[in-house]
Amino acid sequence: MAQAATVHLNSPPAAERETIRGLLDLSSPGDLEALFGRAFRLKEQTVGREIYLRGIVEFSNICEKDCSYCGIRRSNTDLERFQMPPDEIVAASLRAYRGGFKSILLQSGERTDPEFIGLVERVVRRLKEETDDGIGITLSLGEQNHDTYRRWFGAGAHRYLLRIETSSPRLYGTFHPADHDYAFRRRCLASLRRIGYQVGSGMLIGLPGQTTADLAADALFLREIDVDMIGMGPYIPHRQTPLAEKVLNYSPAKQLELGLKMIAVCRILMPDINIAAATSLQTLSPEGWRRGIRAGANVVMPNFTPARYRAAYSLYEGKPAAENETDSLGALESLFTGLTEKIVPDAWGDSPRFFRRNQLRDAPNHESCESSRINIIIRKSA
């Protein structure tokens, strides 16, 4: 017998976290369908039926950091390091742009030296000039100081993605060596917001030792810092990393399911933001993106890194190294056939939340936005 369970969000924080944990623990097909369906409908009402696109260019795997989960960590010596020359970064970005992907995401390993900072600034400036400001640029280049973020914003980047990875300072400490500082990462996110970027964050889902209570806290953290967009995805072990040794009973199907549940929960908590269906979701299953969209995501990010560099940008195992079937509009259209959503080429696809927040800020007497005042009713199978 099925029984209706009403879940009131916006209750006291501990109760809210418990509620979300409950949603993340759902496992019967009927419950999952109800959860994903709820998030999907909410997405339709808030951000609509459009799927926004970002072309990713991963332009260097040289990294100063040593995250225990990541295949391009500094200590992995079994990896050929590359840095694409500026001309190639521009060419790859323009290939995406001319193919209808008006918004691009430039990503690389972390570097903070002046040469790198200058290179990024020049590339961003050139792309804006060569497209007559037609290209939308998101950066995902890790922790930098305020001045660097400001320079890149000044050059024309207008969105920045910096995952918190996990909002629990305790877990953060276990996955990152001592040269990482949770407090600094939070300050980076605050800097980005102050400068005027649309700010994205997110986490790794299904890390060893991470519970659904931790993930519930992560979702609430993202709402608390009021992100404009979320980039988050299931953790996939990489053999040449210390964390892979701690993974017991790894199940790709479970990772996928947890990733989808997080999308749904975040959509319910933050209805008007952009949520990406991550590359790792599509790596776990050829249906990953499609299912992500069905669970409440509204952005996908096909890869435009030139094929010869892809194998070396191995954040995790199985990350597609060949040119794949998803990097043209036609291919994407067939991937999403039958859905009520449509991919929108030639659009930046900015976060509605960003504009809404600014409007609210400028409006007199506002208190808070309505985004989380939602009751979810899902059927619980008895």
Q: Which residues would be at the binding site for ligand 5AD (CB under 6 A)?
A: 69-70, 163, 165, 204, 233, 235-236, 238, 280, 315-316
Minimal distance in Å, beta carbon 176 to ligand 5AD? 11
Taking the least distance from each CB to ligand 5AD, the nearer of 162 and 376 is 162
Which residues, 6+ apart, have CB-to-CB distance to 169 below 8 Å?
182
Minimal distance in Å, beta carbon 165 to ligand 5AD? 5
Q: What is the DSSP string of 148-162?
A: HHHHHHHHT--EEE-
Minimal distance in Å, beta carbon 315 to ligand 5AD? 4
Rounded to 5, what percent of the chain is helix, strand, coil?
A: 40, 15, 40
Pairing of strands 229-234, 274-277: parallel
Which residues, 6+ apart, have CB-to-CB distance to 240 below 8 Å?
71, 76, 78, 79
Q: How far apart are the C-alpha atoms of 43 and 50, rounded to whole Å? A: 10
Q: How far apart are the C-alpha atoms of 81 and 86, rounded to whole Å? A: 16
Which amino acid, residue 242?
A: P
Token pair for 194 = 């102050």
Q: How far apart are the C-alpha atoms of 34 and 275, rounded to whole Å? A: 19
Q: Which of 232, 219, 216, 159 is nearest to 192 (CA)?
A: 159
Minimal distance in Å, beta carbon 76 to ligand 5AD? 11
Taking the least distance from each CB to ligand 5AD, the nearer of 247 and 344 is 247
Minimal distance in Å, beta carbon 202 to ligand 5AD? 7
Minimal distance in Å, beta carbon 309 to ligand 5AD? 15
Minimal distance in Å, beta carbon 50 to ligand 5AD? 25
Taking the least distance from each CB to ligand 5AD, the nearer of 46 and 61 is 61
- Three-class SS of 189-256: HHHHHHHCCEEEECEEECCCCCCHHHHHHHHHHHHHCCCCEEEEEECCCCCCCHHHHHCCCCCHHHHH
| CA atoms within a 13 Å half-sphere pointing along the CA-CB vector of 207 | 25
Q: Is 196 left (phi over 0), alpha (psi -120 to 50) or beta?
A: left
Taking the least distance from each CB to ligand 5AD, the nearer of 40 and 59 is 59
Taking the least distance from each CB to ligand 5AD, the nearer of 105 and 220 is 105
The CA-atom distances, in angstroms, between 321 and each of 221, 297, 310, 346, 360 are 33, 24, 5, 26, 44
Minimal distance in Å, beta carbon 304 to ligand 5AD? 16
Minimal distance in Å, beta carbon 139 to ligand 5AD? 12
* H or E segment and range at residue 102: none
Taking the least distance from each CB to ligand 5AD, the nearer of 73 and 353 is 73
Taking the least distance from each CB to ligand 5AD, the nearer of 51 and 315 is 315
Taking the least distance from each CB to ligand 5AD, the nearer of 55 and 233 is 233
Residue with the shortest CB distance to ligand 5AD: 316
Taking the least distance from each CB to ligand 5AD, the nearer of 198 and 283 is 283
